[in-house]
A = this chain, B = another copy of it.
């Protein structure tokens, strides 16, 4: 599938990966993940170069992997370290692809592109996930849809007034001030309602749920699929820092053209030690993401078949501005990358 290569993708929550083998298909490749004895994460393509057996059907030998079919061993860099057959010579092609993999902000990130460019400073800042001033509740799920449809869903949050009504519905939200701002390769959609009724999702945590509030909803996209959503309410006239704020992490990694691994979390700045508030968040994530977003996004995928969205000429509304710009920006980044790769390679006839 068409993918941006020189970028970090989330493969898993860090806590999903331990010393046991863990497999997940991402970016159209089957991967094997595990941690070395010292905790360093390992990301290998889960396929032996001998007979294409999944290495995950084999076993660990120290920090190395032994194929369960005919016993070749590979180290964490994918180099073959043992051939138990015949004279034991190791064929030069006996290599497994290994990807740069790093834990950051509680997530395991992998880099599918040019390894020499895998700069950890390019990982988007999701530090809020580990901030001591916030309480974070999150998980992951599968969406049977192209990842850009999931990004569209995030970058056009007007859908909360319909798909997530009444829980997340906000009066006057659709006519609110709406800015779409690009900074380098990130894109932010900002909406503010200066005075409205707090949405149901905030009301239990406000001292006066009926007092008018300023409501804001900002979402920032980093290519290819990392979105950071800030939503808050504050009594009208007060500074936003005094408000109830939730930072949402919404990160998608394509598994294939029509499957997307979706990592989500909500980090709130209030009631940090309140198990009921934790439970409320988990319940909403279950309802909102699994029972409302997922069926809708998958139905859209189903109605589109294997067509690309823009090729089907959707009508475009004001609310599509951010999602369409993100699609175009990503497409141009992939085009640039493809062109650079081609010019860097020798030209074959």
Contact = CB atoms under 8 A, between A and B. Distances in A.
Given A296-B57, A299-B53, A300-B51, A69 B314 contact: no
Contacts of A50: 314-315, 317
Given A158-B85, A315-B91, A68 B296 contact: yes
Interface in A97-152: 152
Nearest to A175: B86
A313 B316 CA distance: 47
B315 A49 contact: yes
Q: For the complex formed by this chain, how many copies does it contain in all?
A: 3
Nearest to A295: B57
A282 interface: no
Contacts of A30: 303
B300 A53 contact: yes
Contact count band on A: 35 or more
Contacts of A152: 51
A342 B252 CA distance: 46
Contacts of A85: 158, 174, 317-319
Nearest to A80: B315
Interface in A264-317: 295-296, 299-300, 303-304, 309, 312-317
Contacts of A51: 152, 300, 309, 314
Given A69-B300, A86-B317, 5 more contacts: A30-B303, A54-B299, A84-B158, A85-B317, A86-B174
30 contacts: A30-B303, A47-B303, A50-B314, A50-B315, A51-B152, A51-B309, A51-B314, A52-B300, A52-B312, A52-B314, A53-B296, A54-B299, A57-B296, A57-B299, A58-B162, A68-B162, A70-B158, A70-B162, A70-B319, A71-B162, A85-B319, A86-B174, A86-B317, A86-B318, A86-B319, A87-B318, A91-B316, A91-B317, A93-B315, A94-B315
